[in-house]
Amino acid sequence: MEKFSWRKRGKSFVYAFAGIRYLIGKEHNAWIHCAATVMVIAAGVIFNIDKTEWCLVILCIGMVLAAEGFNTAIEKLTDLASPGYNELAGKAKDVAAGAVLITAIAAATIGLIIFIPKILQMIQGI
């Protein structure tokens, strides 16, 4: 087992942030998730959501962006391992993309549960 090193731990953060920069800078679906993130954060501020709701929103944002990161990693590795068409490689990519869709649907559902009552309350108050 390799000896613990603060320097190596620091480098692992550098690599992780490079991965996040790549994800957000190059992956169009991540752009969509980031745009949704900005809108949800703005809605959270406007509707003054409580601490528990913020925790759920932050968890959902992290869950969807992480799923998008896993999907991108799987796609890149699949392209490396199988540059030509391969049915099994395509299925792996489809399942990874489906996992992102599942997390996005779950996050959207949580968002609706949090924000619909607040929107209705606002409309009734007008």
Instruction: Write the single-letter amino acid at 75.
Output: E
C-alpha–C-alpha distance, residues 106 and 60, integer Å: 8
Contact 57, 40 (CB under 8 A): yes
The answer to whether residue 68 is catalytic is: yes
C-alpha–C-alpha distance, residues 125 and 119, integer Å: 10
Given 2, 27, 68, 75, the catalytic residue: 68
CA 82, 85, 87, 89: dihedral to nearest 10 degrees? 30
32: tokens are: 């969509």
Catalytic residues: 68
